[in-house]
Amino acid sequence: MLELAKAYEPGKVEDRIYSRWLKNDAFHADPDSTKPAYSIVIPPPNVTGVLTMGHVLNNTIQDILARRARMTGHEVLWLPGTDHAGLATQTAVEKALRKPDQLPPTVKEMLDSFKLPADTKLTRQNIGRENMIKLIWAWTKDRGGIIIEQLKKLGCSCDWKRERFTLDENYLKEVQQVFVELYNKGYMYRGLRMCNWCPASLTAISDEEVEMKPQKSKLYTMRYEIAEEPGRFVEIATTRPETLMADTAVAVHPEDKRYMDLIGKHAIRPFPKTNIPIIPDDYIDIEFGTGVLKVTPAHDKNDFEIGQRHNLPIINIMTADGHIDCPDVPELHGMERFQARDKAAELLDSMGQLVKIDAYDNNVGFSERGKVPIEPRLSEQWFLKYPKIKESLEAVCSNETEKKVIRFFPTHWEKTYAHWLENIQDWCISRQVWWGHRIPVWYRKNTQEEITETVASIERPQGEGWEQDPDSMDTWASSWLWAYATMDERTRKKFYPTSVLVTGPDIIFLWVARMIIAGLELEPGTSRQLKDHIPFKDVYFTGLIRDGKGRKMSKSLGNSPDPLMLIKKYGADGLRFGLMRIAPKGQDIRFDEKQIEEGRNFANKLWNACRFRTMQGEIDPTANPFNENHQLSPFAHHLLASLEDLLTTVEEAFNKYEFNTASSAIYSFVWDTFCSRFLEVAKADFNNKDSLTRSGTLATIDYTINHVLRLLHPFMPFITEEIWTELGFCGTSNTSILFTEYPQPQKKLNANQKLAHRTQQLYETLDRGRALRAEFQIPTNQKVVMKLKLAQNAEIDDHDIDILSGLLHTSELKIVKTALSKTPSVITPIGDLYLPLEGVIDVDQERARLEKELAKAQADLERENKKLQNEAMLKKAPAEKVNTWRDIADKAKDKITKLKKSLDNL
């Protein structure tokens, strides 16, 4: 047997252990296995991303589930991979191209091979579609996979041989096939619609990718003259004067008495000067502003709808990149949109048509990627009319157990999910982005460039003149198939639907809801029951990790700690365990490095406890304190009874995904019950090896370590594997702890509860005695004589007295028959414990101490008496409770009597 190294050094064993697991193919998921399947889904991280605390949280939880599932006899599939993250990656490369000198060598090489003229500005337009895609591939290959290596450092037990990328050939085909299928079913359509346009990225984005931000804006009030009544003006409030060139009407509420007579007349738009009709529309809020709205159908979603209702012309005065395109107003033409805003106000002012400018708080939609305000823009895009909305709703929110086939943890996310589905809008799925899955639609045009034929197909259709749609799909239109498009038929048969999805609630719409819809609509095999169509059975929503000030962690704030640095400093196990202890089910987490330090400290504690054991001789990996001819001490019974409780707690916590409950329970068992209590007591016997063996103490320790290591393995995979192997629990076959059985609660309690209780009383006595010493500031290293007057029914033997004596650091613990006076004492479960002090005791100090104890006892008595004197309470409360109260009251009474006597004797 090997002894453990003197100190636990996080970061030293991880790589070695992980490569051993990989070498043994330990995470392989066998589709032909006869074991029950357990499969898990996690959002594939961006291929060029790096590990964030969010990933650490998700993946730790996922890994805990995976490892425990293996240990409970499941065949586990955790299929890893990365997402191409279309727009995000393309934008990143475009940005990198601005500093060509700093490009990774492989990318630079690729770029050079294009032989662009030396003075070419490196925009994607200048580079061209085909070459740009080549460049991004090169970038992806250079930068990609970093996060995969980082996940390994964290200990993730993924089946790496199955690693997928959302642009893999097979995956790409699945995505396009799904598009074709939905097109043929009539769900996918192309239309000229108002969409969210990002003027920075030059693409449309979906509603879900627009982030509303409060802004300090200005509200401009301007006045337009009435064409039919020269000299009469209407006042109009707007936040966007720069779009007035595109106004094609002025609208008022049909029942607004102030303006009713104007309906049908015309207002004079100041520039370019023209008459625009005054129209009635219910949409207008009489209360807001002046009650008059300028209608700009080309540049506002609501105005567009008003325009549709009234057949208004649509005038577009803005370029794709957010500049004014209106040659008729040369002062503004070509100007950037926000500069044009000020300029337009100036123009109005110079014409005497600007009434006032008010400060105004409103919300403006920003593009998540481009970080600029989105521009409502009319454009031709592909849309998905979502199928299976009702079914998706029922699958999660139905009151009928049969229909509710997906469980959310915590359940309150069901409401958010339902709200989205109930108000769902068609999904703008096309992106004017090159990096991604190209829309599998082909057009044939006539000589006037009009589309005459449209075909959806992965392959180019037969015949001449077919052109593919230039757009690609939203990234989420590929990742929404992740759960099943990553599997082949054989794998799917075994592992689909998956068991659990772990993710943050921030992508509940972008990903979770859409996966459910896709699963219900697309999964082949219509003969199966509904539950077989869902992509996953349980969804566990993690909380968000925030910084110490409660802010979201983000790159721009720079408030996100580097997980790799944390791993280096505290070990992957410390990071994982520390995080799990503070991650209650689905609540946001305020991150504090101290908590990771605690995780590391715990690993150290575990290590040292095991090291301590190795110093006492050979370990028996199969030790069973119950089975052999041991005369188990009450202390052992106490420990084993606690262990049994722990198993139950952990089992129940796992069933509810309460990782903090499970980890905290193990923590306090190991630290307090096992180390501080049991091992300290056991030390008393360690000088007598024979008695140790006979009493089963060593067997109890080995049995406990054996259980604790396995209990902890999902949380702390590395250190548990290391100790497991080093201490020989792996046996001669050298079995990894990965493949051992997870400790389950025992059906029948083996430990003697009565003896366990007796030990509990001894422990409490010990605590009281230590407190007494501390109260009189007797240094730990100073031996004193203490005396004990046993209570009548105290169960205690000489061995117990020896133990107590040792742990109380007494030179002698003397049993006395009569109560002592003028001697500091405490009342303990087994009797009165005295600390006879040499010389004179400080009467005032002792009085103060006794009075404090008296007050506490009196408070206890009062509280319980209040209950016991309440007749209604006695009548209605269960007898068991009443007995407890009585018991507390009796003890308090007894204590009060004794304390009063001591006080009198002072």
Partner RNA sequence: GCGUGCUUAGCUCAGUGGUAGAGCAUCUGGUUUACACCCAGAGGGUCGUAGGUUCAAACCCUACAGCACGCACCA
Give the footprint of RNA on residues 293-352 (CB under 7 A): 293-294, 301-302
User: In 3D, which of 160, 159, 162 has the Cα closest to residue 170?
Assistant: 162
- Taking CB under 7 A as the rule, does residue 777 contact RNA? yes
Please report how close the Cβ of residue 771 comes to RNA at its closest, in angstroms. Answer: 4
Say how many residues touch RNA, by CB under 7 A.
Answer: 100
Task: Using the structure block, give the residue that is written with the tokens 């420990």.
Answer: 639
Q: Which stretch binds RNA (CB under 7 A): 167-175, 283-291, 387-395, 513-521?
A: 283-291
Per-residue string for binding with RNA, 427-466, x by CB under 7 A? ----------------------------------------
Please report how close the Cβ of residue 486 comes to RNA at its closest, in angstroms. Answer: 27
The residue (of 375 and 658) whose beta carbon lies closer to RNA is 658
Among 612, 760, 791, 837, binds RNA (CB under 7 A): 612
Among 2, 118, 359, 615, binds RNA (CB under 7 A): 615
Q: Which stretch binds RNA (CB under 7 A): 435-443, 478-486, 765-773, 836-844?
A: 765-773
| CA distance to 202, 263, 623, 832, 849, per residue, from 772 (Å) | 75, 92, 39, 12, 10
**Spatial separation of the C-alpha atoms in residues 445 and 467, rounded to whole Å:** 9
Q: What tokens does 380 get?
A: 């031709």
Q: Of residues 565-584, which lie at the interface with RNA (CB under 7 A)?
A: 582, 584
The residue (of 148 and 246) whose beta carbon lies closer to RNA is 246
Please report how close the Cβ of residue 859 comes to RNA at its closest, in angstroms. Answer: 8
Please report how close the Cβ of residue 54 comes to RNA at its closest, in angstroms. Answer: 14
User: In 3D, which of 653, 640, 649 has the Cα closest to residue 707?
Assistant: 640
Please report how close the Cβ of residue 416 comes to RNA at its closest, in angstroms. Answer: 6
3-class secondary structure per residue, 77-142:
EECCEEECCHHHHHHHHHHHCCCHHHCCHHHHHHHHHCCCCCCCCCCHHHHCHHHHHHHHHHHHHH
Among 559, 660, 746, 858, binds RNA (CB under 7 A): 660
**Spatial separation of the C-alpha atoms in residues 818 and 672, rounded to whole Å:** 34
For every residue of 197-230, DSSP letters joined together read EETTTTEEE-GGGEEEEEEEEEEEEEEEEETTST
Q: Of residues 100-129, which lie at the interface with RNA (CB under 7 A)?
A: none
Structural contact between residues 298 and 304, judged by C-beta atoms closer than 8 angstroms? yes
Please report how close the Cβ of residue 297 comes to RNA at its closest, in angstroms. Answer: 13
Q: What is the DSSP letter of 512?
A: I
Among 14, 63, 426, 598, binds RNA (CB under 7 A): 598
Q: Are strands 831-834 and 784-790 parallel, antiparallel or unpaired?
A: antiparallel
Q: By three-state DSSP, how is residue 796 classified?
A: coil
Q: What's the distance, Cα to Cα, between the start and end of the chain in Å?
A: 59
The residue (of 568 and 863) whose beta carbon lies closer to RNA is 863
Per-residue string for binding with RNA, 856-885, x by CB under 7 A? ----x--x---x--x-xx-xxxx--x--x-
**Spatial separation of the C-alpha atoms in residues 679 and 364, rounded to whole Å:** 63
**Spatial separation of the C-alpha atoms in residues 425 and 700, rounded to whole Å:** 63
User: In 3D, which of 533, 576, 879, 524 has the Cα closest to residue 714?
Assistant: 576
Please report how close the Cβ of residue 697 comes to RNA at its closest, in angstroms. Answer: 12
The residue (of 160 and 408) whose beta carbon lies closer to RNA is 408
Please report how close the Cβ of residue 261 comes to RNA at its closest, in angstroms. Answer: 18
The residue (of 77 and 295) whose beta carbon lies closer to RNA is 295
Structural contact between residues 41 and 500, judged by C-beta atoms closer than 8 angstroms? yes
Sign of CA dihedral 475, 477, 478, 481: positive
The residue (of 345 and 603) whose beta carbon lies closer to RNA is 603
Sign of CA dihedral 747, 753, 757, 763: negative
Per-residue string for binding with RNA, 190-209, x by CB under 7 A? -----------------xx-
Cis amide prior to 584 (ω within 30 degrees): no
**Spatial separation of the C-alpha atoms in residues 196 and 426, rounded to whole Å:** 13
Q: What letter represents residue 405's amino acid?
A: V
Q: How many helices (H) does the chain have, and how many strands (E)?
A: 29, 29
Among 37, 53, 237, 632, binds RNA (CB under 7 A): 237
The residue (of 209 and 523) whose beta carbon lies closer to RNA is 209
Q: Which stretch binds RNA (CB under 7 A): 187-195, 516-524, 600-608, 830-838?
A: 600-608
Q: Which helix (H) or strand (E) holds 442?
A: strand 441-445
Among 771, 815, 848, 855, binds RNA (CB under 7 A): 771
- Taking CB under 7 A as the rule, does residue 282 contact RNA? no
Q: Are strands 536-541 and 498-503 parallel, antiparallel or unpaired?
A: parallel
Among 676, 736, 823, 858, binds RNA (CB under 7 A): 676
User: In 3D, which of 272, 265, 378 has the Cα closest to residue 320?
Assistant: 378
- Taking CB under 7 A as the rule, does residue 839 contact RNA? no
Q: Of residues 356-395, which lie at the interface with RNA (CB under 7 A)?
A: 362-363
Please report how close the Cβ of residue 2 comes to RNA at its closest, in angstroms. Answer: 15
Q: Which stretch binds RNA (CB under 7 A): 62-70, 289-297, 783-791, 826-834?
A: 289-297
Per-residue string for binding with RNA, 70-99, x by CB under 7 A? ------------------------------
- Taking CB under 7 A as the rule, does residue 690 contact RNA? no
Q: Of residues 492-551, which lie at the interface with RNA (CB under 7 A)?
A: 506, 509, 548, 550
**Rounded to 10 degrees, what is the CA torsion of 161, 57, 476, 427?**
150
Q: By three-state DSSP, how is residue 287 classified?
A: coil
**Spatial separation of the C-alpha atoms in residues 103 and 111, rounded to whole Å:** 10
**Spatial separation of the C-alpha atoms in residues 624 and 646, rounded to whole Å:** 18
Please report how close the Cβ of residue 414 comes to RNA at its closest, in angstroms. Answer: 9
The residue (of 239 and 750) whose beta carbon lies closer to RNA is 239
Sign of CA dihedral 614, 619, 625, 630: negative
The residue (of 98 and 689) whose beta carbon lies closer to RNA is 689
Among 141, 403, 590, 757, binds RNA (CB under 7 A): 590
Q: Which stretch binds RNA (CB under 7 A): 98-106, 238-246, 435-443, 523-531?
A: 238-246
Please report how close the Cβ of residue 410 comes to RNA at its closest, in angstroms. Answer: 7
- Taking CB under 7 A as the rule, does residue 675 contact RNA? yes
Among 84, 164, 533, 611, binds RNA (CB under 7 A): 611
- Taking CB under 7 A as the rule, does residue 893 contact RNA? no
- Taking CB under 7 A as the rule, does residue 767 contact RNA? yes
Phi-psi region of 289 (alpha: psi -120 to 50; beta: other; left: phi over 0): left
Among 5, 212, 451, 815, binds RNA (CB under 7 A): 212
Please report how close the Cβ of residue 472 comes to RNA at its closest, in angstroms. Answer: 23
The residue (of 815 and 874) whose beta carbon lies closer to RNA is 874
User: What does the buried/exposed string (b/e) look like for 366-400 if buried means 16 or more CB atoms within 10 Å of the residue's CB?
Assistant: bbbbbeebbbbbbbebbbbebbbeebbbbbbbeee
Q: Of residues 388-427, which lie at the interface with RNA (CB under 7 A)?
A: 412, 415-416, 419-420, 423
- Taking CB under 7 A as the rule, does residue 600 contact RNA? yes
**Spatial separation of the C-alpha atoms in residues 894 and 874, rounded to whole Å:** 22
- Taking CB under 7 A as the rule, does residue 685 contact RNA? yes
Please report how close the Cβ of residue 237 comes to RNA at its closest, in angstroms. Answer: 5
Q: Of residues 239-278, which lie at the interface with RNA (CB under 7 A)?
A: 239-240
The residue (of 839 and 878) whose beta carbon lies closer to RNA is 878
634-655 and 753-775 helices, crossing angle to 10°: 100
